[in-house]
Amino acid sequence: MSPTTDTIESVLLPTDGSDGALVGAKRGADLAAMADATVHVLSVVDASAIEGVASVLESDLDEQRAALEDDAESAVASVSSMVQDRYPDCEVTTTTDRGRPFRVIDRYVEENDIDVVAMGTKGRTGVRRVVLGSVTENVLRTVEAPILVVPPAASDAPLTEDTVRNVLLPTDGSDGAAVAVDWGLALATAFDAMTHAIYSVDTRRFSPQAEPGEILAELERPGEDALESVRERARERGCSLTGTIATGPPARVVLDYADGNDIDLIAMGTHGRSGLERHFLGSVTENVVRNAELPVVCVPMSGA
């Protein structure tokens, strides 16, 4: 079944109390309010950094563990207050837990049937770090739910019909991309936004002795098929859509198109094709997430 905003019944906001986490939590709260979904706020205490230092006395360890616990409690309380201040009718559940952050988040998503996770890309650093940063990348690789990833440079404007006017859907024609396209179209429908589909032809992997015209013609054919599939899905939903084939490294193509076309939201799969035809997955998605200045919805194959 294709996703709709009715599919989103719960949104998880992991937080470590940092500004980066708050950026992600705000946009996750917007999404939850739009879908009338329940919000879950989770802070994870990862004491491994201090426990791995042999020179730290046990009394000091206890003190630092207590400080981490306090940080976690403050973090969930702060995000919960933010959500309820913005959206008083929103139901909020708060939790703190211990362990490896991305593993705790993964387990929480599974045990609580979470539909979407919203995270910032930057969190705390050093010994007092609790949740984010590289954890976001691990969550993208392991959690079987769509992840709304929000960079620090993203606009602080809420996600509404007034602010989300253009949604970008990168595609490589794979099943993974198709799942992400369905999610992107559902969000575009909810925001009444224009959808943009883009297919990247990356010629760097081919021999310079090959005839450029022949290569492009061969590579553009599956691109046209992929874009036509997106057009059909958009027509079924009544979405307005424009499709483009571009040449260049996939991540750079996506970022350049987003910058040049006033894109407000990107939806892309975390898994696509494999081998020589692999385009929008893994490292490409991570590169987009690291360098984008707008929210990115990363959808795994299991997000169908």
Q: How many CB atoms lie within 10 A of CB 218?
A: 13
pLDDT at residue 10, as a whole number: 97
**What Å distances lie between residue 156 and 27, 133, 194, 264, CA to CA?**
8, 19, 21, 12
For residue 283, name the pLDDT band (cuts at 50, 70, 90).
confident
Does the pLDDT value for residue 169 go beyond 60? Answer: yes
* Contact (Cβ atoms closer than 8 angstroms) between residue 244 and residue 197: yes
What is the Cα Rg of the chain in Å?
A: 20
| Helices within the chain (DSSP H only) | 19-35, 48-51, 58-86, 101-111, 134-142, 175-191, 212-237, 250-260, 283-291
The one-character DSSP state at 113 is T
For residue 280, name the pLDDT band (cuts at 50, 70, 90).
very low
* Contact (Cβ atoms closer than 8 angstroms) between residue 42 and residue 148: no
Strand arrangement, sheet containing 265-269: 92-98, 38-45, 10-14, 116-120, 147-150, 296-299, 265-269, 166-170, 194-201, 241-247
Q: Determine the Cα–Cα distance for residues 31 and 13; give it in Å rounded to an integer.
A: 11
- Domains defined for the chain, CATH in brackets: 5-150 (3.40.50.620), 166-303 (3.40.50.620)
What number is the average pLDDT over the span 93-102? 94
CA-based nearest residue to 175, from 283, 252, 270: 270
What number is the average pLDDT over the span 253-279? 78
Segment 183-241, tens digit of pLDDT: 999 999 999 999 999 999 876 655 555 555 666 666 678 889 999 999 999 999 999 99
The one-character DSSP state at 203 is G
CA-based nearest residue to 27, from 137, 141, 119, 121: 119
Q: Determine the Cα–Cα distance for residues 74 and 71; give it in Å rounded to an integer.
A: 5
